[in-house]
Copies of this chain bind each other. A is one copy, B any other.
Amino acid sequence: MKRLDVILTVLFFTLSFLTLNAQTLKDERQYKETADKLVRSALIEKKAYGWLKELCEIGPRLSGSENSIKAIHWAENKMKQLGFDSVWLQPVMVPHWVRGKIEDAVISRSKNYKGKSLRIAAFGGSVGTPKEGITGEVLEVKTFDELQQNKDKAKGKIIFFNRPFDESLTNTFSAYGRAVDQRIRGAIEAAKAGGIAAIVRSITSKHDNVPHTGVMYYADSLRKVPSVGIGWLDADFLEKAIKKEPNLTITLKLDCSTLPATQSYNVIGEIKGREKPKDIIVVGGHIDSWDKGCGAQDDGAPSLQTIEALDLLNRLNIKPKRTIRCVLFVNEENGGRGSKKYGKFARKSDETNLAAIESDRGAFTPRGFYVTADSTVIKKMQTWLPVLNTALIDWVRPGGSGADVSKITNAKALLGYATDNQRYFDFHHSDNDILETVNPREMELGSAAIAIMAYLISEEGL
Protein backbone atom coordinates (compact mmCIF):
# COMPACT_ATOMS: atom_id res chain seq x y z
CA MET A 1 0.00 0.00 0.00
CA LYS A 2 1.19 3.45 -0.78
CA ARG A 3 1.37 6.02 1.99
CA LEU A 4 -1.62 7.87 0.59
CA ASP A 5 -3.65 4.67 0.43
CA VAL A 6 -2.85 3.90 4.03
CA ILE A 7 -3.92 7.36 5.09
CA LEU A 8 -7.10 7.16 3.07
CA THR A 9 -7.93 3.74 4.50
CA VAL A 10 -7.41 4.97 8.07
CA LEU A 11 -9.50 8.02 7.31
CA PHE A 12 -12.28 5.90 5.85
CA PHE A 13 -12.53 3.64 8.88
CA THR A 14 -12.24 6.57 11.26
CA LEU A 15 -15.07 8.42 9.59
CA SER A 16 -17.19 5.26 9.42
CA PHE A 17 -16.65 4.81 13.14
CA LEU A 18 -17.67 8.39 13.80
CA THR A 19 -20.80 8.04 11.69
CA LEU A 20 -21.75 4.84 13.46
CA ASN A 21 -21.40 6.48 16.85
CA ALA A 22 -23.32 9.52 15.78
CA GLN A 23 -26.27 7.36 14.70
CA THR A 24 -29.46 9.10 15.63
CA LEU A 25 -33.14 8.65 15.14
CA LYS A 26 -34.42 9.97 11.81
CA ASP A 27 -37.63 11.61 12.96
CA GLU A 28 -36.35 12.57 16.37
CA ARG A 29 -38.02 15.96 16.49
CA GLN A 30 -41.40 14.59 15.54
CA TYR A 31 -41.10 11.71 18.00
CA LYS A 32 -40.15 14.15 20.74
CA GLU A 33 -43.29 16.17 20.03
CA THR A 34 -45.42 13.04 20.24
CA ALA A 35 -43.66 11.95 23.43
CA ASP A 36 -44.25 15.35 24.96
CA LYS A 37 -47.97 15.12 24.18
CA LEU A 38 -48.17 11.65 25.73
CA VAL A 39 -46.41 12.80 28.91
CA ARG A 40 -48.56 15.91 29.29
CA SER A 41 -51.79 14.02 28.73
CA ALA A 42 -50.80 11.42 31.34
CA LEU A 43 -49.79 14.03 33.93
CA ILE A 44 -52.82 16.23 33.43
CA GLU A 45 -55.58 13.64 33.07
CA LYS A 46 -54.20 11.06 35.52
CA LYS A 47 -56.64 8.47 34.18
CA ALA A 48 -54.73 5.38 35.31
CA TYR A 49 -54.55 6.76 38.85
CA GLY A 50 -58.33 7.17 38.79
CA TRP A 51 -58.70 3.53 37.67
CA LEU A 52 -56.41 2.43 40.47
CA LYS A 53 -58.90 3.83 42.99
CA GLU A 54 -61.64 1.71 41.39
CA LEU A 55 -59.47 -1.42 41.36
CA CYS A 56 -58.45 -0.95 44.99
CA GLU A 57 -62.11 -0.66 45.98
CA ILE A 58 -62.58 -4.26 44.82
CA GLY A 59 -59.94 -5.31 47.36
CA PRO A 60 -57.03 -7.74 47.08
CA ARG A 61 -57.37 -10.22 44.22
CA LEU A 62 -55.54 -13.46 44.81
CA SER A 63 -55.86 -16.00 42.00
CA GLY A 64 -58.97 -18.13 42.40
CA SER A 65 -60.73 -15.66 44.69
CA GLU A 66 -64.07 -14.04 43.95
CA ASN A 67 -62.33 -10.63 43.99
CA SER A 68 -59.91 -11.75 41.29
CA ILE A 69 -62.81 -12.59 38.98
CA LYS A 70 -64.40 -9.21 39.76
CA ALA A 71 -61.11 -7.48 38.92
CA ILE A 72 -60.80 -9.43 35.67
CA HIS A 73 -64.26 -8.38 34.51
CA TRP A 74 -63.62 -4.82 35.69
CA ALA A 75 -60.48 -4.69 33.51
CA GLU A 76 -62.29 -6.28 30.56
CA ASN A 77 -65.05 -3.67 30.80
CA LYS A 78 -62.54 -0.86 31.18
CA MET A 79 -60.79 -1.88 27.95
CA LYS A 80 -64.13 -2.10 26.17
CA GLN A 81 -65.23 1.32 27.44
CA LEU A 82 -61.95 2.76 26.24
CA GLY A 83 -62.75 1.54 22.74
CA PHE A 84 -59.84 -0.82 22.15
CA ASP A 85 -60.10 -2.53 18.74
CA SER A 86 -60.63 -5.90 20.34
CA VAL A 87 -60.89 -7.17 23.89
CA TRP A 88 -61.03 -10.80 24.98
CA LEU A 89 -60.54 -13.17 27.90
CA GLN A 90 -58.09 -16.05 27.59
CA PRO A 91 -59.16 -18.95 29.86
CA VAL A 92 -56.58 -20.18 32.40
CA MET A 93 -56.99 -22.69 35.26
CA VAL A 94 -55.42 -21.28 38.43
CA PRO A 95 -54.60 -22.63 41.90
CA HIS A 96 -56.89 -21.57 44.71
CA TRP A 97 -55.27 -21.14 48.11
CA VAL A 98 -57.12 -19.51 50.99
CA ARG A 99 -55.64 -17.99 54.11
CA GLY A 100 -58.54 -18.89 56.35
CA LYS A 101 -59.30 -17.06 59.57
CA ILE A 102 -56.83 -18.39 62.10
CA GLU A 103 -53.25 -17.19 61.89
CA ASP A 104 -51.58 -17.14 65.32
CA ALA A 105 -48.09 -17.49 66.69
CA VAL A 106 -47.74 -17.30 70.46
CA ILE A 107 -44.83 -17.89 72.82
CA SER A 108 -46.23 -20.86 74.70
CA ARG A 109 -43.40 -21.80 77.10
CA SER A 110 -41.09 -19.15 78.51
CA LYS A 111 -40.12 -17.57 81.80
CA ASN A 112 -40.09 -14.06 80.39
CA TYR A 113 -42.30 -13.93 77.32
CA LYS A 114 -45.12 -16.45 77.79
CA GLY A 115 -48.30 -15.37 76.00
CA LYS A 116 -46.62 -12.87 73.72
CA SER A 117 -48.11 -12.86 70.22
CA LEU A 118 -45.94 -12.62 67.14
CA ARG A 119 -47.23 -10.99 63.94
CA ILE A 120 -47.12 -13.55 61.17
CA ALA A 121 -48.61 -14.21 57.73
CA ALA A 122 -48.77 -17.68 56.16
CA PHE A 123 -47.03 -17.98 52.81
CA GLY A 124 -49.23 -18.70 49.84
CA GLY A 125 -49.50 -22.45 49.38
CA SER A 126 -48.70 -23.32 52.98
CA VAL A 127 -50.59 -26.13 54.68
CA GLY A 128 -52.45 -25.32 57.88
CA THR A 129 -51.88 -26.87 61.31
CA PRO A 130 -54.01 -29.22 63.40
CA LYS A 131 -56.60 -27.36 65.50
CA GLU A 132 -54.43 -27.49 68.62
CA GLY A 133 -51.55 -26.03 66.63
CA ILE A 134 -47.93 -27.06 66.25
CA THR A 135 -45.62 -26.44 69.20
CA GLY A 136 -41.86 -26.52 69.17
CA GLU A 137 -38.62 -24.97 70.23
CA VAL A 138 -36.90 -22.67 67.76
CA LEU A 139 -33.70 -23.18 65.77
CA GLU A 140 -32.39 -20.00 64.15
CA VAL A 141 -30.35 -20.25 60.94
CA LYS A 142 -29.23 -17.79 58.30
CA THR A 143 -28.71 -20.20 55.39
CA PHE A 144 -29.72 -23.65 54.18
CA ASP A 145 -26.07 -24.73 54.58
CA GLU A 146 -26.13 -23.69 58.22
CA LEU A 147 -29.34 -25.71 58.66
CA GLN A 148 -27.74 -28.79 57.11
CA GLN A 149 -24.71 -28.42 59.38
CA ASN A 150 -27.02 -28.26 62.41
CA LYS A 151 -29.33 -31.05 61.32
CA ASP A 152 -28.96 -32.87 64.64
CA LYS A 153 -30.50 -29.88 66.45
CA ALA A 154 -33.31 -29.33 63.93
CA LYS A 155 -35.46 -32.37 64.60
CA GLY A 156 -38.90 -31.50 65.99
CA LYS A 157 -38.10 -27.82 65.96
CA ILE A 158 -39.54 -24.75 64.27
CA ILE A 159 -36.85 -23.46 61.92
CA PHE A 160 -36.43 -19.66 62.07
CA PHE A 161 -34.84 -18.45 58.81
CA ASN A 162 -33.38 -15.11 59.85
CA ARG A 163 -31.20 -13.79 57.04
CA PRO A 164 -32.33 -10.19 56.43
CA PHE A 165 -32.83 -8.25 53.22
CA ASP A 166 -29.34 -6.90 52.38
CA GLU A 167 -29.78 -3.15 52.79
CA SER A 168 -26.31 -2.33 51.50
CA LEU A 169 -27.35 -2.96 47.89
CA THR A 170 -28.65 -0.05 45.81
CA ASN A 171 -30.86 -2.35 43.71
CA THR A 172 -33.57 -3.53 46.07
CA PHE A 173 -34.54 -6.31 43.66
CA SER A 174 -31.06 -7.78 44.14
CA ALA A 175 -31.48 -7.59 47.91
CA TYR A 176 -34.86 -9.32 47.58
CA GLY A 177 -33.39 -11.95 45.27
CA ARG A 178 -30.70 -12.82 47.80
CA ALA A 179 -33.17 -13.41 50.64
CA VAL A 180 -36.23 -14.89 48.97
CA ASP A 181 -34.93 -18.48 48.86
CA GLN A 182 -35.82 -18.66 52.57
CA ARG A 183 -39.48 -18.06 51.77
CA ILE A 184 -39.63 -20.14 48.59
CA ARG A 185 -37.71 -23.22 49.80
CA GLY A 186 -37.80 -22.76 53.59
CA ALA A 187 -40.49 -25.41 54.14
CA ILE A 188 -38.63 -27.92 51.95
CA GLU A 189 -35.32 -27.38 53.72
CA ALA A 190 -36.97 -27.40 57.15
CA ALA A 191 -38.69 -30.71 56.39
CA LYS A 192 -35.46 -32.19 55.00
CA ALA A 193 -33.77 -31.45 58.34
CA GLY A 194 -36.65 -32.87 60.40
CA GLY A 195 -38.15 -29.50 61.35
CA ILE A 196 -41.88 -29.12 61.97
CA ALA A 197 -42.46 -25.61 60.60
CA ALA A 198 -40.67 -22.62 59.07
CA ILE A 199 -40.78 -19.00 60.25
CA VAL A 200 -39.05 -16.55 57.90
CA ARG A 201 -37.97 -12.95 58.63
CA SER A 202 -40.06 -10.79 56.30
CA ILE A 203 -38.20 -9.82 53.15
CA THR A 204 -38.60 -6.08 53.40
CA SER A 205 -36.70 -2.81 53.55
CA LYS A 206 -39.04 -1.35 56.18
CA HIS A 207 -38.33 -1.81 59.85
CA ASP A 208 -41.91 -2.17 60.96
CA ASN A 209 -43.87 -5.16 62.21
CA VAL A 210 -46.04 -5.88 59.18
CA PRO A 211 -45.47 -9.46 57.97
CA HIS A 212 -44.91 -9.99 54.24
CA THR A 213 -46.31 -12.99 52.38
CA GLY A 214 -45.44 -14.53 49.00
CA VAL A 215 -45.25 -17.86 47.25
CA MET A 216 -43.62 -20.99 48.70
CA TYR A 217 -43.23 -24.55 47.43
CA TYR A 218 -43.18 -28.11 48.72
CA ALA A 219 -41.33 -31.16 47.47
CA ASP A 220 -43.58 -34.16 46.82
CA SER A 221 -41.12 -36.49 48.49
CA LEU A 222 -41.04 -34.58 51.77
CA ARG A 223 -43.44 -33.85 54.62
CA LYS A 224 -45.37 -30.61 54.11
CA VAL A 225 -44.72 -28.31 57.04
CA PRO A 226 -46.35 -24.88 57.51
CA SER A 227 -44.32 -21.84 56.53
CA VAL A 228 -44.96 -18.24 57.58
CA GLY A 229 -43.40 -14.76 57.41
CA ILE A 230 -42.83 -12.81 60.61
CA GLY A 231 -42.76 -8.99 61.01
CA TRP A 232 -39.28 -7.41 61.03
CA LEU A 233 -39.59 -6.14 64.63
CA ASP A 234 -40.92 -9.47 65.89
CA ALA A 235 -38.02 -11.18 64.10
CA ASP A 236 -35.68 -8.87 66.04
CA PHE A 237 -37.54 -9.77 69.22
CA LEU A 238 -37.41 -13.50 68.54
CA GLU A 239 -33.70 -13.33 67.74
CA LYS A 240 -33.01 -11.80 71.16
CA ALA A 241 -35.53 -13.92 73.06
CA ILE A 242 -34.06 -17.26 71.97
CA LYS A 243 -30.57 -16.05 72.86
CA LYS A 244 -31.83 -15.51 76.40
CA GLU A 245 -34.07 -18.59 76.50
CA PRO A 246 -33.05 -21.20 73.94
CA ASN A 247 -35.80 -23.53 75.18
CA LEU A 248 -38.79 -21.26 74.72
CA THR A 249 -41.50 -22.70 72.51
CA ILE A 250 -43.84 -21.20 69.95
CA THR A 251 -47.30 -22.53 69.17
CA LEU A 252 -48.41 -21.95 65.62
CA LYS A 253 -52.06 -22.18 64.53
CA LEU A 254 -53.12 -21.78 60.89
CA ASP A 255 -56.22 -22.81 59.02
CA CYS A 256 -55.06 -21.94 55.51
CA SER A 257 -55.67 -24.56 52.84
CA THR A 258 -55.56 -25.29 49.12
CA LEU A 259 -58.89 -25.75 47.30
CA PRO A 260 -59.37 -27.26 43.82
CA ALA A 261 -58.01 -25.27 40.89
CA THR A 262 -60.56 -22.84 39.42
CA GLN A 263 -61.34 -21.19 36.12
CA SER A 264 -59.76 -17.81 35.55
CA TYR A 265 -58.59 -15.60 32.67
CA ASN A 266 -55.91 -13.39 31.18
CA VAL A 267 -57.45 -10.08 30.07
CA ILE A 268 -56.33 -8.97 26.61
CA GLY A 269 -57.05 -5.84 24.60
CA GLU A 270 -55.35 -4.29 21.62
CA ILE A 271 -55.04 -1.45 19.14
CA LYS A 272 -54.64 -2.86 15.64
CA GLY A 273 -51.56 -1.78 13.72
CA ARG A 274 -52.32 0.47 10.73
CA GLU A 275 -49.71 -1.16 8.46
CA LYS A 276 -48.54 -4.39 10.04
CA PRO A 277 -51.40 -5.66 12.20
CA LYS A 278 -49.76 -9.09 12.61
CA ASP A 279 -46.62 -7.62 14.20
CA ILE A 280 -47.38 -7.66 17.92
CA ILE A 281 -45.95 -5.52 20.71
CA VAL A 282 -47.20 -6.69 24.09
CA VAL A 283 -47.36 -4.41 27.12
CA GLY A 284 -48.56 -5.91 30.37
CA GLY A 285 -48.56 -6.63 34.05
CA HIS A 286 -50.51 -8.99 36.25
CA ILE A 287 -54.11 -8.64 37.36
CA ASP A 288 -53.78 -10.92 40.40
CA SER A 289 -52.27 -9.78 43.71
CA TRP A 290 -51.60 -11.20 47.13
CA ASP A 291 -54.44 -11.15 49.65
CA LYS A 292 -52.83 -8.36 51.70
CA GLY A 293 -53.34 -4.60 51.34
CA CYS A 294 -54.89 -4.06 47.93
CA GLY A 295 -51.95 -4.86 45.65
CA ALA A 296 -51.67 -1.20 44.68
CA GLN A 297 -47.97 -1.33 43.85
CA ASP A 298 -47.88 -5.07 43.06
CA ASP A 299 -49.18 -5.02 40.47
CA GLY A 300 -52.29 -2.81 40.43
CA ALA A 301 -50.79 0.52 39.38
CA PRO A 302 -48.09 -0.90 37.09
CA SER A 303 -50.56 -3.15 35.25
CA LEU A 304 -52.97 -0.24 34.81
CA GLN A 305 -50.12 1.79 33.29
CA THR A 306 -50.13 -0.72 30.43
CA ILE A 307 -53.86 -0.18 29.82
CA GLU A 308 -53.22 3.55 29.86
CA ALA A 309 -50.30 3.19 27.44
CA LEU A 310 -52.86 2.05 24.81
CA ASP A 311 -55.42 4.63 25.88
CA LEU A 312 -52.85 7.45 25.65
CA LEU A 313 -52.25 6.62 21.98
CA ASN A 314 -56.00 6.28 21.41
CA ARG A 315 -56.98 9.53 23.09
CA LEU A 316 -54.33 11.46 21.20
CA ASN A 317 -55.53 9.82 17.99
CA ILE A 318 -52.15 8.22 17.28
CA LYS A 319 -52.49 5.14 15.08
CA PRO A 320 -49.49 2.84 15.55
CA LYS A 321 -47.94 1.09 12.55
CA ARG A 322 -47.93 -2.26 14.38
CA THR A 323 -50.43 -3.80 16.82
CA ILE A 324 -49.97 -2.85 20.46
CA ARG A 325 -51.58 -5.38 22.77
CA CYS A 326 -52.17 -5.10 26.50
CA VAL A 327 -52.08 -8.42 28.34
CA LEU A 328 -53.05 -8.55 32.01
CA PHE A 329 -51.73 -11.92 33.10
CA VAL A 330 -53.44 -13.86 35.86
CA ASN A 331 -51.64 -15.86 38.56
CA GLU A 332 -48.21 -14.25 38.43
CA GLU A 333 -47.97 -14.49 42.21
CA ASN A 334 -48.50 -18.16 42.85
CA GLY A 335 -48.06 -20.30 39.79
CA GLY A 336 -47.53 -18.24 36.66
CA ARG A 337 -50.29 -20.10 34.85
CA GLY A 338 -51.43 -16.99 32.97
CA SER A 339 -48.03 -16.26 31.46
CA LYS A 340 -47.52 -19.91 30.50
CA LYS A 341 -50.86 -19.89 28.71
CA TYR A 342 -50.14 -16.70 26.81
CA GLY A 343 -46.59 -17.83 25.97
CA LYS A 344 -47.95 -21.04 24.45
CA PHE A 345 -50.54 -19.07 22.49
CA ALA A 346 -47.83 -16.71 21.21
CA ARG A 347 -45.65 -19.59 20.02
CA LYS A 348 -48.52 -21.25 18.15
CA SER A 349 -49.91 -18.08 16.63
CA ASP A 350 -49.12 -16.93 13.09
CA GLU A 351 -48.39 -13.44 14.46
CA THR A 352 -44.89 -12.03 14.77
CA ASN A 353 -44.00 -11.43 18.40
CA LEU A 354 -41.82 -8.41 18.03
CA ALA A 355 -41.48 -7.23 21.62
CA ALA A 356 -43.06 -7.45 25.04
CA ILE A 357 -42.75 -4.89 27.85
CA GLU A 358 -43.51 -5.86 31.46
CA SER A 359 -44.55 -3.37 34.13
CA ASP A 360 -44.14 -5.06 37.51
CA ARG A 361 -41.65 -3.03 39.55
CA GLY A 362 -43.98 -0.63 41.36
CA ALA A 363 -45.40 2.68 40.14
CA PHE A 364 -42.43 4.86 41.03
CA THR A 365 -40.66 7.46 38.88
CA PRO A 366 -39.26 6.02 35.61
CA ARG A 367 -35.53 5.30 35.40
CA GLY A 368 -34.94 2.97 32.45
CA PHE A 369 -35.70 -0.19 30.51
CA TYR A 370 -33.97 -3.53 30.90
CA VAL A 371 -33.84 -5.39 27.60
CA THR A 372 -33.25 -9.03 26.72
CA ALA A 373 -32.39 -9.01 23.01
CA ASP A 374 -29.50 -9.01 20.54
CA SER A 375 -27.00 -6.26 21.26
CA THR A 376 -27.89 -4.57 17.94
CA VAL A 377 -31.50 -4.28 19.09
CA ILE A 378 -30.41 -2.78 22.41
CA LYS A 379 -28.10 -0.32 20.63
CA LYS A 380 -30.95 0.72 18.39
CA MET A 381 -33.17 1.38 21.39
CA GLN A 382 -30.39 3.42 23.00
CA THR A 383 -30.55 5.84 20.07
CA TRP A 384 -34.14 6.51 21.18
CA LEU A 385 -33.03 7.86 24.58
CA PRO A 386 -33.49 11.54 23.64
CA VAL A 387 -37.16 10.71 23.02
CA LEU A 388 -37.59 8.34 25.97
CA ASN A 389 -36.06 10.95 28.28
CA THR A 390 -39.22 13.03 27.84
CA ALA A 391 -40.71 10.61 30.39
CA LEU A 392 -37.52 10.69 32.52
CA ILE A 393 -36.06 7.45 31.10
CA ASP A 394 -32.29 7.80 31.58
CA TRP A 395 -31.09 4.44 30.31
CA VAL A 396 -31.69 1.31 28.23
CA ARG A 397 -29.57 -1.62 29.45
CA PRO A 398 -29.25 -5.35 28.94
CA GLY A 399 -31.19 -7.08 31.71
CA GLY A 400 -34.14 -9.25 32.67
CA SER A 401 -37.69 -8.35 31.64
CA GLY A 402 -40.14 -9.92 34.09
CA ALA A 403 -41.79 -13.14 35.16
CA ASP A 404 -44.75 -12.80 32.79
CA VAL A 405 -43.42 -11.58 29.46
CA SER A 406 -40.34 -13.80 29.68
CA LYS A 407 -42.64 -16.71 28.80
CA ILE A 408 -43.11 -15.23 25.31
CA THR A 409 -39.99 -17.10 24.32
CA ASN A 410 -40.25 -16.35 20.60
CA ALA A 411 -40.30 -12.53 20.99
CA LYS A 412 -37.45 -10.61 19.42
CA ALA A 413 -37.07 -8.33 22.46
CA LEU A 414 -38.28 -8.67 26.05
CA LEU A 415 -38.29 -5.50 28.12
CA GLY A 416 -38.70 -4.71 31.81
CA TYR A 417 -39.84 -1.19 32.64
CA ALA A 418 -37.56 -0.06 35.51
CA THR A 419 -38.58 2.40 38.20
CA ASP A 420 -36.93 4.08 41.17
CA ASN A 421 -37.26 0.98 43.36
CA GLN A 422 -36.03 2.19 46.77
CA ARG A 423 -39.47 2.04 48.43
CA TYR A 424 -40.89 -1.03 46.68
CA PHE A 425 -40.07 -3.63 49.33
CA ASP A 426 -41.52 -1.42 52.09
CA PHE A 427 -44.91 -2.35 50.66
CA HIS A 428 -44.52 -5.54 48.58
CA HIS A 429 -46.79 -8.52 49.51
CA SER A 430 -48.07 -6.93 52.71
CA ASP A 431 -50.81 -4.86 54.31
CA ASN A 432 -48.64 -1.84 53.46
CA ASP A 433 -49.40 -2.20 49.74
CA ILE A 434 -52.26 0.29 49.56
CA LEU A 435 -53.45 3.13 47.32
CA GLU A 436 -51.89 5.80 49.55
CA THR A 437 -48.37 4.61 48.67
CA VAL A 438 -48.88 5.45 45.00
CA ASN A 439 -47.97 8.97 43.93
CA PRO A 440 -50.16 10.00 40.97
CA ARG A 441 -47.35 11.80 39.11
CA GLU A 442 -44.91 8.92 39.48
CA MET A 443 -47.55 6.48 38.27
CA GLU A 444 -48.58 8.59 35.28
CA LEU A 445 -44.99 9.14 34.13
CA GLY A 446 -44.78 5.34 33.92
CA SER A 447 -47.86 5.13 31.68
CA ALA A 448 -46.19 7.64 29.36
CA ALA A 449 -42.79 5.91 29.40
CA ILE A 450 -44.36 2.60 28.39
CA ALA A 451 -46.51 4.26 25.72
CA ILE A 452 -43.48 5.99 24.21
CA MET A 453 -41.37 2.82 24.14
CA ALA A 454 -44.20 0.75 22.62
CA TYR A 455 -44.85 3.45 20.03
CA LEU A 456 -41.18 3.71 19.03
CA ILE A 457 -40.96 -0.06 18.59
CA SER A 458 -44.16 0.05 16.57
CA GLU A 459 -42.90 2.77 14.22
CA GLU A 460 -39.23 1.87 13.95
CA GLY A 461 -39.40 -1.91 14.16
CA LEU A 462 -36.57 -3.95 15.64
- Which of B7, B167, B170 is within 8 Å of A392, CB to CB? B170
Give the nearest-CB partner of A442 in chain B.
Answer: B422
Asked if B43 and A168 make an inter-chain contact with CB atoms under 8 angstroms apart, the answer reads: yes
Asked if A423 and B439 make an inter-chain contact with CB atoms under 8 angstroms apart, the answer reads: yes
Decide yes or no whether A412 CB sits under 8 A from chain B. Answer: no
Give the nearest-CB partner of A3 in chain B.
Answer: B4
**Which residues on B sit within 8 Å (CB–CB) of A445?**
170, 422
Give A48 Cβ to nearest chain B Cβ, in Å.
Answer: 14
Of the A-B pairs whose beta carbons lie under 8 Å apart in the complex, a sample of 10, sorted by A's number, is A11-B11, A11-B14, A170-B391, A170-B392, A172-B441, A205-B441, A420-B420, A422-B439, A422-B441, A423-B439
Decide yes or no whether A15 CB sits under 8 A from chain B. Answer: yes
Asked if B18 and A14 make an inter-chain contact with CB atoms under 8 angstroms apart, the answer reads: yes
Copies in the complex: 2
A430-449 vs B, CB cutoff 8 Å, 1 = contact: the mask equals 00000000010110010000
Knowing A14-B15, A395-B394 touch, does A39 contact B170 (C-beta < 8 A)?
yes
Decide yes or no whether A53 CB sits under 8 A from chain B. Answer: no
Decide yes or no whether A367 CB sits under 8 A from chain B. Answer: yes
Decide yes or no whether A10 CB sits under 8 A from chain B. Answer: yes
**How far apart sit A394 and B168, CA to CA, in the bound complex (Å)?**
19
Decide yes or no whether A380 CB sits under 8 A from chain B. Answer: no
- Which of B40, B167, B392 is within 8 Å of A43, CB to CB? B167
Decide yes or no whether A365 CB sits under 8 A from chain B. Answer: yes
Decide yes or no whether A259 CB sits under 8 A from chain B. Answer: no
- Besides A4-B4, A170-B392, 5 more A-B contacts (Cβ < 8 Å) are A7-B8, A7-B11, A18-B18, A423-B439, A423-B442
Residues of A383-410 whose CB lies within 8 A of B: 390-392, 394-395
